[in-house]
């Protein structure tokens, strides 16, 4: 299993596509000379070429022709038209990766030639800083080796796992949308610090690092978050007072509802 000598192409360089390109370049898993990108927005391509020294074009077919692995980083609403435009040049030796939320593997495979190797991935915006959470599901024609190659690409920009496609909508609601749920939490924690006298910048740094540290502690120790919470919570102390206020405000239900609502929206987009 190796990505050595392979070239990767991106159709779409919006927030997610651009983040993945930057993350892959920073990680060095594929050299910039082996990365191709296309988009309708020339300014976006020019910025990527100047900052990352990748190959850019406004022709999707040129990206496909030059790439061994093609990442479709376009909105779900236009994915079908993009697939139709490249169908005839997607040869069996290429891997097609879709990161379009809610669009099932079968729908993608039906728009391409029989036998096309398709893999579906749900990453998140933290790929920009190589801390993405990504889930990968392989299509009927993709091999275990194909899935491993895709896993290696997305592990270069964070953590990645293999899952059955039936769980992809849940992933979309949890980790795909999740960063947007956490940013307001960081801001709110910082607001609390400002209320108590901290300057804004100091409060934001402390709040963000607190979230980062808590997540890293759980991932690296593999200790259940409930146990970690108890490690910080002394009887009659400051932390339990704060925990009580969070529970009184329904924090658990609020986050569960957010994930479920986003997952349901992913299902709607896939219909």
The stretches of the chain forming alpha helices (DSSP H) are 15-27, 42-52, 60-66, 76-86, 105-111, 144-155, 168-171, 178-195, 200-221, 225-232, 238-248, 251-269
Q: What is the pLDDT of residue 47?
A: 93
Q: Which has the closest alpha carbon to 7: 60, 70, 51?
A: 70
Q: What is the pLDDT of residue 156?
A: 86
* pLDDT above 50: residue 207: yes
* Cβ within 8 Å of residue 179, ≥6 positions away: 124, 125, 126
Considering the entire predicted model, what is its pTM?
0.88
234: helix, coil or strand? coil
* pLDDT above 90: residue 58: yes
Residue 28's pLDDT band (cuts 50, 70, 90): confident
* pLDDT above 90: residue 128: no
Q: Is the alpha carbon torsion for 262, 264, 266, 268 positive or negative?
A: negative
98: helix, coil or strand? strand
Summarize the confidence of residues 183-210 as an average pLDDT. 98
Domains and CATH numbers, the chain: 8-163 (3.40.50.720), 178-269 (1.10.3730.10)
């Amino acid at each position: 299993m190796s990505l050595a000598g392979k070239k990767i192409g991106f159709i779409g360089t919006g927030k997610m596509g651009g983040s993945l390109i930057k993350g892959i370049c920073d990680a060095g898993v594929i050299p910039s000379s082996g990365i191709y990108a296309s988009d309708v927005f020339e300014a976006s391509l020019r910025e990527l070429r100047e900052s990352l020294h990748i190959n850019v074009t406004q022709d999707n077919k040129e990206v496909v022709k030059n790439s061994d692995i093609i990442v479709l980083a376009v909105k779900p609403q236009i994915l079908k038209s993009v697939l139709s435009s490249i169908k005839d040049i997607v040869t069996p030796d290429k891997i097609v990766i879709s990161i379009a939320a809610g669009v099932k593997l079968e729908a993608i495979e039906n728009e391409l030639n029989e036998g096309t190797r398709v893999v579906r991935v749900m990453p998140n915006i933290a790929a920009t800083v190589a801390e993405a959470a990504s889930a990968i599901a392989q299509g009927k024609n993709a091999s275990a080796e194909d899935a491993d190659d895709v896993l290696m690409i997305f592990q270069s920009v964070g953590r990645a796992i293999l899952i059955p496609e039936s769980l992809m909508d849940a992933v979309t609601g949890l980790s795909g949308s999740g960063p947007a749920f956490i940013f307001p939490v960081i801001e709110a924690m910082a607001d609390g610090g400002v209320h108590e006298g901290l300057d804004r910048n100091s409060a934001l740094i402390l709040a963000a690092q607190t979230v980062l540290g808590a997540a890293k502690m759980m991932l690296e120790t593999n200790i259940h978050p409930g146990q970690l919470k108890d490690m910080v919570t002394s009887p009659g102390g400051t932390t339990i007072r704060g925990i009580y206020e969070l529970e009184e405000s329904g924090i658990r239900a609020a986050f569960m509802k957010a994930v479920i609502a986003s997952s349901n929206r992913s299902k709607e987009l896939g219909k």
